[in-house]
Structure formats: C-alpha cells, structure tokens
Amino acid sequence: MTRRALLLIACGLTAALLTGCGGGTILRGKVVSGPQSMVMVVPGDDPRLAGPGIDGVTVALTLDPRSLGRKPLGDGVSYGDGTFAIPINEFGAGLLEYEIGVLARIEGREHAEGFFKLPPGGQRVLIVMAKGADTYREFEDPRSEIKRYGY
C-alpha cells in the first residue's frame, strides 16, 4: 500500500472512533399506573413493560442531579402505550458511567423521581405513578429566595 492509502485509512478509522465516542444513546422506558410512585431500572424483558401504560407523561432527565454542576439532559412525553424514548447526546453517553435523575409528571398523578447510573441498552426505565396530587417543587437557588423575600 502507498503512504497516501495508509494515511486515508488512519484518518477514516480515527473519524469513526471519535464519532462513536460522542454519539450518545437513547433512554427507553415505560410509564405505568401503580399504588406508589417510583422510578426503577428493569431488564428489557420485565413483564411490567408489557402492561397498559400512561400516555402524556412528561419525563425530564438531569445529568449529575445531586451535584452543583447538574444540567438538563433533555425531556420527552410518553406515547399512547406509555413508552418513551429520549435521546441523550452527552459526550460518551452509553460508554461512560453517568448518574442521571428522572422526573415524571402529569396532572392527576403523584410525581415520580429517581436517581441511578445511566442503564445499558438492554435495560429499561420503569416509571410507576400513583393517582393523587403532584406536590413536586422545583429546587430554588438560595440567592433567588433572598432577592424575593428580602432576607
């Protein structure tokens, strides 16, 4: 092979590797009704994923939810059968370990919230939502409260 051919092959392999590392992944799951609201990671063949789902639930994702550097990863809405698929375009998602937070909300149901490592492709997120009032409150920065209440 010529030097030029080797250089082109090396460049192609490098580009493919870099694209694969930054490509991201898709978080898939289902929202179902239950006696208590919770979020959990289950195997892809869990029987609860085959049951009836809740449509129209807003599912929001946060990267590093327990740190000061947390950031929104994206959100989505569950389909008619309760399933959802939210793309995660964070660098290395699917390859590196990321802790994420999941928050599910819909009127007439208690919110469901959970924190866990981003699951691999064969696993799914199961969100169980109980009937009731949504009592979730957004975290407020102490500085904004000082400005609002004049402490």
Q: Which position has the higher pLDDT, 138 or 76?
A: 76
How far is residue 14 CA from its own chain's centroid?
Answer: 29
Q: Where are the domains of the chain?
A: 19-135
Please check the confidence at residue 75 and state whether its pLDDT lies above 70: yes
Model confidence over 95-104: pLDDT tens digits? Answer: 667 889 999 9
Length, in residues, of the chain:
151
Inter-CA distances, 66 with 74, 88, 110, Å: 17, 18, 21
Beta strands in the chain (DSSP E): 25-33, 38-43, 58-63, 71-77, 83-88, 99-105, 112-117, 123-129
Model confidence over 118-145: pLDDT tens digits? Answer: 888 889 999 999 999 888 877 666 666 5
Answer yes or no: are the C-beta atoms of 39 and 125 closer than 8 Å: yes
pTM exceeds 0.95: no
Architecture of domain 19-135 in this structure: Sandwich (2.60)
Averaged pLDDT of the chain = 83
